[in-house]
Each structure stands twice: as structure tokens, then as C-alpha cells.
């Protein structure tokens, strides 16, 4: 799967800047809107990979300019849910095939909708049309995910994910683990374009993309370090970015005085921390007690033994 | 789609990350592998694999940062 971002992450940012930030973030590419195409053309090669061109009107789907852009950018046109009537699929299939372009018709997390689309695409003999799946994990019936993946196995080429990004750290972030495990095991290799799950979250996304989300944990830690070296320590790892968590925990543990305890608060099962300390620290140098069984908060008390 | 199995764990909330990885690994047939994609070095996970699935897995880095890590994890 190719993790990407959609235009709505930063709707007013210049397209070239958005693409550059996505690259710096290690993302595969950007899903643009049809209205971005003129700007995208001006940016040229520096744009990097476009994973889709999202359009919301049938006229846009049928326009030759859209098809030409799809062929030029090697990016499928992703037609919004409900925009393409199934009786037009054979005609559009022929037109897209002739233009060397690709069209994806979007469905939701709805097994019946996917089955109807799959049978309509059977009539698309030129195979220039596939499907895109729009997922809203917060509200969609995720128990239907396996059935949807089975019904769309031959046609699915794009996923539009409402959520991800900075929203993963919100306490009410929906559990998408099974969804991603199922996608992986189905050997899905297309794009997963993330976008804000609601407009009110859009601002958080822009800062996330720009890497501006920092938290005071590290600095606060430095200030408190001197004071607390000789006492028990508390560390709430939930506000630390995942990539910095291990270093934060290890340095807090290593700064701990013998006989003292580090109380850590987690938003995941801390067993991995036990195995890591066990592998990296001298044998029998600490005691690890895990408290809580989630689902949202776990605690661990790590006591450093007296030497 | 005839692709390899790729699990991008960056889109999964922290509490679900390791359970999702183990669930995916446990669903593999012997001899299969998957590529784990992450935004930091997942080496603590390797220790957890060693502790809980010792001798049953292989681990090889395909990409090591600075933004993206890719590890091929195979089932023996």
C-alpha cells in the first residue's frame, strides 16, 4: 500500500509545496483535485507522484482534458461516489482506454454497492475502469471489511481514508488495525490517500504535514531532570511522537537512580518496552510491572535495582 | 492485485500497532513474508518477536530512514 495525502489536508497550500511536504514526510504521493490540474501542470516534474485526480462532477469525468491529464500524470481519475451512472460505464471505459487513461469509480463501505459496481465493471471490456473505496472508519461498519475486499479483489485500485495523520493520536481515534491488516493480507498495493475526517480537524493536519507538531515533553523533561534524579519519575509517553518514544523512555530510565521507579503512561500495550529493556539493559537490572489492560490507557512501573 | 503483502503501520493508532502486526504475521503461511512500513526503526518490535515467536521469523531491513523504515518479516 502506498500511503499518500489528499488535497483536502491543505486545500489552500500551493500544490508544489504540498507535494514537497508529502515527500519529506516519506509519503508516496498526493491525490489532487480536478481543479488543481492547471497548477499541477505549471509545477511540472517537481510535483512527484500523483496517486489520483479526484473529481466530483460527471462533466469532469467525461472531459477530454481530464483524461489527457490522467494519461500524462499516470494517475487515475477518481470519480466521487454516486457521480458515474452504471449505464455510462462501457462508454467511459472505451473513452478512457483510447486516451491511455484510467478511471476509478468510488464506493463506500457497503457490500451491496460494491457487488453492483463489480458486476457493472464486468461490462467494461477495455479494463480502463476500476474501483476506489472511500472509508470513514469512525462511522463505517468495519465488520464488513473482509466482504468488501473479497467483492472488490479484482478491481480495487485506490483507497480514500477519512482519518489517519494527526488524528491517530486523538483518544477517540477509531481502531483501524484490523482494516489495515486485512488490506495488507489481501495484497492491496494501491494508494491509501489520507484526509481530515472532518473540516474542523484540517488545521491539525497542516501542522502535522509540516512537521510542526512538537510537544514540550522533552524540554520539560530536561528542566525537571536535575530535580528528580534522586526520586521516582513519571513519564506520560502519549504526548510524545511515536518515533521519539523509545529514546525518551530509555533516557528517562537510564537517568533514574538505583532503587527508584519510573511510572510510565502509555496509549498502547507496553509489553514491547519490557522486551526492549530486557534485551538492552544488563540482566536482572530492573523489575517491570504492567498495570491496566487498556483499551486506551496502560501503565508500567519500572524499578531500577540497587547495584 | 498480485502484489506482495505490505502493511503500513503509520496509519494505525498506537494502541493497535503491535497487535495488528502480530495478527498479520500470524495469518501468514509458512514461507510467506510481509513488508512492514513505519516512520521509525521498529527494533523494539523485533525484541518482542524474539521473545514471543522465537525461531519462527526472519527480519531484514529494506529501507532505514530517515523518514521511512521498511522491514521484510518472514515466517519460517
- pLDDT at res. B19: 92
Element housing B21 (H / E): helix B14-27
Question: How does pLDDT run across B38-49, given as a tens digit for each residue?
Answer: 988 898 899 999
Q: Per-residue pLDDT tens for A176-208?
A: 999 999 999 999 999 999 999 988 888 889 888
Inter-CA distances, A67 with A20, A52, A60, A159, Å: 25, 12, 9, 20
- At A230 the pLDDT is 57
Closest CA to A65 of A92, A99, A26: A99
- Interface size, chain A vs chain B, as Cβ–Cβ contacts under 8 Å: 125
Which is more confidently placed, B43 or A145? A145
Provide DSSP, chain A: -EEEEEGGGGTTS-HHHHHHHHHHTT---EEEEGGGHHHHHHHGGGG--EEEEEE-SHHHHH-HHHHHHHHHHT--EEEPTT-S-GGGHHHHHHHHHHHT--EEEEE-S-HHHHHHHHHHHTT-TT--EEEEEEE-TTTS-GGGHHHHHHHTTTTEEEEEEEB-GGGGGSTT----HHHHHHHHHTT--SEEEEE-SSGGGHHHHHHHHTT----THHHHHHHHHHHHTTS-EEEEGGGS-HHHHHHHHHHHHHHSPTT-EEEEEESS-THHHHHHHHHHSPTT-EEEEEE---SS-EEEEEEEPP-
A187: nearest CB among B5, B8, B37: B5
For A213, phi then psi, to 5°, come to: -75, 105
Please answer yes or no on whether B13 and A178 come within 8 Å at the CB atom. no
CB contact under 8 A, B11 and A25: no
Residue A217 confidence (pLDDT) above 70:
no
When scoring B1, B3, B6, B11 by the number of chain A Cβ atoms within 10 A, the one with the most, hence best to mutate, is B11
Q: Model confidence at A226, in pLDDT bands (50, 70, 90)?
A: very low
Q: Whole-angstrom Cα distance, residue A302 to residue A274?
A: 9
Using a CB–CB cutoff of 8 Å, tell me whether B47 touches chain A.
Answer: yes
Alpha-carbon distance A217 to A219, whole Å? 6
Percent of chain A with pLDDT over 90: 61
pLDDT at A221: 39
Predicted pLDDT at A39:
93
Of the candidates A117, A238, A136, the one whose C-alpha atom is nearest the C-alpha of residue A179 is A136
User: Is B40–A267 a contact, with Cβ atoms under 8 angstroms apart?
Assistant: no
Contact: A1, B45; criterion CB under 8 Å: no
For the purposes of burial, counting CB atoms within 10 Å of the CB of A11, is it exposed (0-12), middle (13-18) or buried (19 or more)? middle
- Given a cut of 60, whether residue A225 has pLDDT beyond it is no
> Would the pLDDT of B60 be above 90?
yes
Strand, helix or coil for residue B9: helix
A243 pLDDT exceeds 90?
A: no
Cα-Cα end-to-end distance for chain A: 48
> Is the minimum CB–CB distance between B23 and chain A shorter than 8 Å?
yes
Using 50, 70 and 90 to split pLDDT, how confident is the model at A292? Answer: confident
Task: Provide the β-strand partners of residue A261.
Answer: A303
Interface of A with B in 85-114 (CB under 8 A): none
Predicted local confidence at residue A15, as pLDDT? 95
- Strands in A233-236's sheet, in edge-to-edge order, are A233-236, A261-266, A298-304, A286-291
Burial of residue A29, with CB atoms counted within 10 A of its CB: 0-12 exposed, 13-18 middle, 19 or more buried:
buried
Which residue has better confidence, A58 or A24? A58
Give dist(CA B21, CA A93) in Å, integer.
Answer: 38
Residue A296: pLDDT above 90?
Answer: no
Q: Would you say residue A78 has pLDDT above 90?
A: yes
Q: What is the pLDDT of residue A168?
A: 85
Reply yes or no on whether the pLDDT at A146 is more than 50: yes
- CA dist A79 and A77 (Å) reads 6
B55 and A CB contact within 8 Å: no
- Residue A256 and residue A285 in contact, taking contact as beta carbons nearer than 8 Å: no
For residue A81, is pLDDT > 80? yes
Amino acid at each position: 500500500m502506498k500511503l499518500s495525502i489528499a488535497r483536502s489536508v491543505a486545500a489552500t497550500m500551493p500544490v508544489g509545496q504540498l507535494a514537497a511536504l508529502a515527500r519529506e514526510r516519506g509519503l508516496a504521493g498526493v491525490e489532487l483535485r480536478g481543479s488543481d490540474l492547471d497548477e499541477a501542470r505549471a509545477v511540472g516534474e517537481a510535483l512527484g507522484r500523483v496517486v489520483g485526480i479526484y473529481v466530483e462532477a460527471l462533466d469532469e469525468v467525461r472531459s477530454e482534458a481530464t483524461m489527457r491529464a490522467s494519461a500524462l500524470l499516470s494517475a487515475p481519475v477518481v470519480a466521487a461516489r454516486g457521480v458515474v451512472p452504471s449505464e455510462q460505464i462501457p462508454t467511459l471505459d472505451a473513452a478512457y482506454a483510447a486516451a491511455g487513461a484510467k478511471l476509478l469509480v468510488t464506493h463506500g463501505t457497503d457490500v451491496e454497492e460494491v457487488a453492483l459496481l463489480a458486476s457493472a465493471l464486468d461490462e467494461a471490456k477495455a479494463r480502463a475502469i476500476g474501483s476506489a473505496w472511500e472509508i470513514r472508519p469512525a462511522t463505517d461498519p468495519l465488520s464488513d471489511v473482509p466482504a468488501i475486499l473479497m467483492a472488490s479483489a479484482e478491481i480495487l485500485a485506490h483507497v480514500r481514508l477519512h482519518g489517519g495523520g494527526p488524528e491517530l493520536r486523538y483518544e477517540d481515534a477509531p481502531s483501524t488495525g484490523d482494516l489495515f491488516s486485512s488490506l495488507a493480507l489481501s495484497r492491496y498495493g494501491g494508494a491509501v490517500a489520507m484526509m481530515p475526517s472532518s473540516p474542523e480537524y484540517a488545521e491539525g493536519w497542516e501542522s502535522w504535514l509540516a512537521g510542526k507538531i512538537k510537544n514540550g515533553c522533552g524540554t520539560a523533561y530536561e528542566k525537571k531532570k536535575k530535580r528528580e534524579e534522586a526520586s521516582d519519575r513519571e513519564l506520560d509517553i502519549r504526548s510524545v511522537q511515536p518515533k521519539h518514544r523509545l529514546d525518551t523512555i530509555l533516557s528517562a530510565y537510564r537517568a533514574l537512580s538505583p532503587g527508584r521507579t519510573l511510572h510510565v503512561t502509555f496509549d498502547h500495550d507496553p509489553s514491547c518496552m519490557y522486551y526492549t529493556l530486557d534485551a538492552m539493559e544488563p540482566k536482572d537490572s530492573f523489575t517491570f510491572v504492567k498495570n491496566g489492560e487498556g483499551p486506551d490507557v496502560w501503565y508500567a512501573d519500572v524499578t531500577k535495582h540497587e547495584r | 492485485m498480485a502484489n506482495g503483502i505490505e502493511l503500513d503501520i503509520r496509519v494505525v493508532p498506537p494502541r493497535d500497532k503491535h497487535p495488528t502486526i502480530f495478527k498479520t504475521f500470524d495469518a501468514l503461511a509458512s514461507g510467506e513474508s510481509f513488508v512492514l512500513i513505519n516512520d521509525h526503526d521498529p527494533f523494539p518490535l523485533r525484541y518482542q518477536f524474539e521473545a514471543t515467536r522465537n525461531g519462527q521469523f526472519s527480519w531484514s531491513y529494506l529501507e532505514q530512514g530517515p523518514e521511512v523504515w521498511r522491514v521484510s518479516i518472514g515466517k519460517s
